[in-house]
Amino acid sequence: MQAFAGRRPDEAMKIVAMDESMPTYYDVLQVERDAAPERVRAAYRKLAHQYHPDKMPGNANAARAMAAINAAYEVLSDAHRRTEHDLWIRRAERSAQPRPPVPQPPRHLWAYLHPARSWPWYLLFGTTVFVVVTVTTAVVLTVMPARAASPLNAQPCTAQATAPAPGCRRPA
């Protein structure tokens, strides 16, 4: 408030409103965002006394300044409306922040396939291959019977003078 010493009251109000690109009710009442309700009320009373149209007859800005001061106090004196105003301020500040730059797409295939950059894809591919091979092996071993226990050639061999036929077994 000392920054406005030596200025007319209507000039000070213009400077506060033009000081930031987004004036808030805190700026209008010239209080901090975490100001206690008593501090808000004291600032309102001081500014209302200073900018009251009866104190400055013939000044058109006094009526506008008083309307802005009343609106600011109306919002900041109500706890629910004050939290909504604080939320509005945070959203406006967040949207005003610059967004991080979008990374450029890789120019060649090796940029996609480089192990340091795309190791999760290598891990996924290796795991998928391992699962497919394991499941295929399990299915093949379950569906196809083992050759040693195959009953296809389990018939007794007939006695022949020559060598027995391959795959036949001798009776005990």
Q: Using CA atoms, how far apart are residues 31 and 13, in angstroms rounded to an integer?
A: 14
Contacts 24+ apart (CB under 8 A), 156-164: none
pLDDT in tens, 48-107: 998 888 888 888 888 888 999 999 999 999 999 999 999 999 988 888 878 888 888 878
Lowest-confidence pick of 82-96, 118-132, 149-163: 149-163
Per mean pLDDT, which range of 41-45, 142-146, 167-171 is the poorest?
167-171
Q: What is the pTM of this model?
A: 0.47
* Domain range list for the chain: 2-96
Q: How confident is the model at residue 115 (pLDDT cuts 50, 70, 90)?
A: confident
User: Which residue type, as a one-letter code, is found at position 18?
Assistant: M
User: DSSP class of residue 31?
Assistant: -
Question: What sign results for the dihedral spanned by CA atoms 9, 13, 15, 19?
Answer: positive
Please write the tens of the pLDDT for every residue from 15-52: 343 334 678 999 999 999 999 999 999 999 999 998 88
The CATH homologous superfamily for domain 2-96 is DnaJ domain (1.10.287.110)
